Structure 1
Amino acid sequence: MGKSKRNSPKPDSNRAQKLAERRAAQEQAAKTVTRPFEGLAAECDLVALREFVPSATATLKLSPNIAPERPVVLATVLPGAVAALVRAGDEPTGFVGVQVQFQSADPSADLAGSILWTQSAEPGESLAHATVDGVPGLADVLDPGAALDITVHQDFNWWVPEGVTPDPQVAATIEQANQAIMTSARLELGADAVGAAWWVDAGEKAHLRWVRPEDEDALMLALARVHAAGHLHLGEGSRFAGSFRTHGVLVPVFDLDPERHANEWVAGATEFGARLSAALANTEPMTSAERRSRDGLRSRQVTLR
């Protein structure tokens, strides 16, 4: 007798569809690049700009290997969440977005493809999604050792060039986006600071999200050591809220007193950064208190896909 097919789903059944969707999701996950911006000096800021910074821009330093034809500005999001556009003017400028409507399994390839597109596109053109097949690595398109000189905006008025009056539909879109934006700032913690610390006023609370480049396990151990010592905070008015994983890095998050401005947290964040660096350098075996802290911190960790 042949093998029973009783458990085989019919081709058009809901079960068959669910199995197909599950296989497709597994295949997509297998293709996803775990740490797309690894090796770039701007890695932590690229993660922040892509994941949670509302409105910011930075002129990119391109690699001479690609013979740049025009300047390129990195933006958190462009009108319509397109991948790129070329703004007309005396000196046409390319703009590339990292918060996009369509994306591949590799955000770094998306960004590299968008940058290359801006070098040959005509002024006034826009790109819905980047082509990633055959595109060189992002480290070959950008200067990998260059940090980002970021301008943080508290609105989206930069979507329209200065001196240009937008049509009513564009103006309404900008107004709607401006009403939803949350005030944000990047904390300038000095030349020795590690990662990228971003403050945001969310209304009832403010938050600090600190994108860190260290190995996740090593960073979690260091956070546990600091927590066990009672120093997992940025000073009075702050509280460690948890952490999330995204693009292969760990992002500790602190809840903050919303009455205090971003600049008022620089001293506390600097002191915390020094405590964390010392904990990262500690090679002693974990104490029982530190192990309990690590288990507790991991239970409050989430992953962003």
Structure 2
Amino acid sequence: MNASTEIPEVGPRQPCPCGSGKRYKVCHGKHTRAAERTYVARPFAGLPGECDWVAMREIISAATAPLVLAGEHADRDVLACTLLPGAMPALVRDNGQVLLALQTVAGGGDASADLGHTLATALAAEPGSSVVPGPLPSDAPRLHDLLDLDAEFVVTVHDTFDFWIDPESETPAEARASLEEANEAVVPTARLDSVTGAYWCSLDDRDQVRWVLPHEEEPLLDALARLHAADADTLGEGTRLLGTFRTHGLLVPVWDLVEGTRAGDVEQPAAEFGARLDEALAETAPLSREQRRARAGLANRQVTIR
């Protein structure tokens, strides 16, 4: 078929009219669906706990959060998880509980739609099923369509992936071996109670705070620059703001801490920094030369994660 010829749309499982011999859904249908999807920079905006959704996607190794559904599925037991065995997108336990993994790879351009599609597939699956959703349809439900938007999103950070184990079912030896291997890779993490969206992490050679902030990027960078120029961007003596990374439309500043600092040690400094940040965000005066230099430094050290 001539390259300039318009390809008619057919059923997803039918042969593609272009003559490739492939099914339409994996040939020209794939490009049609991709064109229909819209990239969403902040896919979790509008959900309760947007910053914690982002943290579960990008920062925390092992965590869970119960989800409250709306509509016909309001009585279903659903647990959001960071990871599931074998990186599976979701599973349905024998008792009907759905486990939805947030740290899965999907290319729909809207993480809320990717996860909504997976959740909808899981809700229709039989108990005892591992869930692998099909291609993302253009009308896939978003999380926003399935969840009770008035319900609080409460994250529980775990030291291990033991939440994988179904207490009501026998766990095969192979699964336990996989669990032990996964547990060795868990990065010790704790959620700070004094502020929202901040997590202490203990890496191999350093302790850090990674803080997902809900503010728009430009005023937030201005505020961080004002604080840096005033030597007020630390979380206590000996700590250092390394820079920020951008993910799911939000900025995440990262601080190096003094070796051996525990989560409880940074609760008060984090709260004090939060107060200073609010004051800096409220300032409207143009940045000084030193503040502009600090802002440029922050921008140069910024990384985007998608």
User: Is the counterpart of residue 124 in structure 1 residue 128 in structure 2?
Assistant: yes
Matched-pair contact (CA < 8 Å) for 1:77–1:98: yes
User: Is the counterpart of residue 173 in structure 1 residue 174 in structure 2?
Assistant: no
Q: Structure 2: which amino acid aligns with 1:166?
A: T
Give how far 1:163 is off: 5.9
Question: Taking structure 1 as reference, are residues 130 and 300 closer, same or farther at Cα in structure 2, changes over 3 Å only?
Answer: same
Matched-pair contact (CA < 8 Å) for 1:110–1:130: no
TM-score (norm 1): 0.84
Give how far 1:71 is off: 1.1
Matched-pair contact (CA < 8 Å) for 2:120–2:141: no
Give how far 1:69 is off: 4.4
- Distance across 2 between alignment mates of 1:179 and 1:164: 24
Q: Match for residue 239 of structure 1?
A: 240
Give how far 1:102 is off: 4.4
Question: Taking structure 1 as reference, are residues 223 and 71 closer, same or farther at Cα in structure 2, changes over 3 Å only?
Answer: same
Q: Match for residue 93 of structure 2?
A: 87
- Distance across 2 between alignment mates of 1:260 and 1:290: 29
- Distance across 1 between alignment mates of 2:300 and 2:167: 48
Q: Could you report, residue by residue, the CA deviation over 1:8-58 in whole angstroms, capped at 9, with x for unpaired residues? A: xxxxxxxxxxxxxxxx9xx88x95321111122221111111112100001
Q: Match for residue 252 of structure 2?
A: 251
- Distance across 1 between alignment mates of 2:134 and 2:262: 38
Q: Match for residue 103 of structure 2?
A: 99
User: Is the counterpart of residue 52 in structure 1 residue 63 in structure 2?
Assistant: no
Higher mean alpha-carbon deviation, 142-151 vs 280-289, is at 142-151
Q: Segments of 4+ in structure 1 off by > 4 A?
A: none
Considering only aligned residues, what root-mean-square deviation do their CA atoms show, in Å?
Answer: 1.9
Q: Match for residue 19 of structure 1?
A: none
SS across alignment from 1:185: strand
2:118 aligned residue (102, 114, 118): 114
Q: Match for residue 74 of structure 1?
A: 80
Q: Structure 1: which amino acid aligns with 2:268?
A: A
Q: Match for residue 283 of structure 1?
A: 284
Give how far 1:164 is off: 4.3
SS across alignment from 1:77: coil
Give how far 1:221 is off: 0.4
Matched-pair contact (CA < 8 Å) for 1:42–1:146: no
Give how far 1:150 is off: 1.3
Give how far 1:283 is off: 1.0
Matched-pair contact (CA < 8 Å) for 1:69–1:119: no
Higher mean alpha-carbon deviation, 219-228 vs 153-162, is at 153-162
SS across alignment from 1:260: coil
- Distance across 2 between alignment mates of 1:277 and 1:115: 37
Q: Structure 2: which amino acid aligns with 1:132?
A: L
Identity, in percent, stands at: 42
Matched-pair contact (CA < 8 Å) for 2:244–2:302: yes
Matched-pair contact (CA < 8 Å) for 2:68–2:74: no
- Distance across 2 between alignment mates of 1:103 and 1:165: 35
Give how far 1:103 is off: 4.5
Higher mean alpha-carbon deviation, 164-173 vs 225-234, is at 164-173
Q: Match for residue 303 of structure 2?
A: 302
Q: Match for residue 49 of structure 2?
A: 42
Give how far 1:203 is off: 2.2
User: Is the counterpart of residue 33 in structure 1 residue 34 in structure 2?
Assistant: no
Matched-pair contact (CA < 8 Å) for 1:68–1:119: no
**How many residues were matched structurally?**
272
Question: Taking structure 1 as reference, are residues 111 and 227 closer, same or farther at Cα in structure 2, changes over 3 Å only?
Answer: same
Matched-pair contact (CA < 8 Å) for 2:42–2:248: yes
Matched-pair contact (CA < 8 Å) for 1:239–1:256: yes
SS across alignment from 2:223: helix
- Distance across 2 between alignment mates of 1:93 and 1:213: 31
Give how far 1:101 is off: 4.4
